[in-house]
Amino acid sequence: MIRPMSFSISNVAIDPAELHRALADPRAGACANFEGWVRNRNEGQPVRSLEYEAYAPLAEKEGERILAEARAKFALVGAAAAHRVGHLQLGELAIWVGVTAEHRSAAFDACRYIVDEAKARLPVWKKEHYASGATAWINGATRGDHVGAPAPAAH
């Protein structure tokens, strides 16, 4: 069973419905979640699949720290997140983050905070497998602009 404040590294497919159910709480008036999928392109190159590796004990500890920070900063009712490891095909779910709060603005802001901090801080490494047969390890350690930044234009 998933706890309503938990972060996990998973070598099996992430079940968003199970994670979402774990967040159910009558105190919550809002739920926001994010799903990160394997896409078919990165920086102009056609991508065939991705491979994620992680130092799970440290990643889970840091993930729990990020959730605790978000809970304090945004007054969350609950938060849960999972990151996949292993070889993932196009369209597969690589990361799921969900939060509940009394109000929607806190839920939206906290969800983005958790995603951005996870990407910047977790010891998770991504290897891209390209259509050409080449592979490359990609540095995913980035932090987005948190609150108030406009969404990037769709391409």
46, 128, 139 from 132: Cα distances, Å: 8, 11, 20
Q: Is residue 150 part of a domain?
A: no
Q: Is residue 27 part of a domain?
A: yes
What tokens appear for 131 in the block?
A: 């259509």
Which domain covers residue 24, as residue numbers? Answer: 5-138
Alpha carbon distance 128, 147 (integer Å) = 30
Closest to 63 (Cα-Cα) out of 106, 115, 100: 115
Q: Is residue 148 part of a domain?
A: no
Q: Is residue 149 part of a domain?
A: no
Q: Is residue 143 part of a domain?
A: no
pLDDT per residue of the chain (155 residues) written in tens, 0 to 9: 455 679 999 999 999 999 999 999 999 999 999 999 999 999 899 999 999 999 999 999 999 999 999 999 999 999 999 999 999 999 999 999 999 999 999 999 999 999 999 999 999 999 999 999 999 998 766 666 544 444 444 44
- CATH number, position 66: 3.90.1170.40
Q: Do 15 and 21 contact (CB within 8 A), yes or no?
A: no
Q: Is residue 146 part of a domain?
A: no
pTM comes to 0.87
CB atoms within 10 A of CB 137: 11
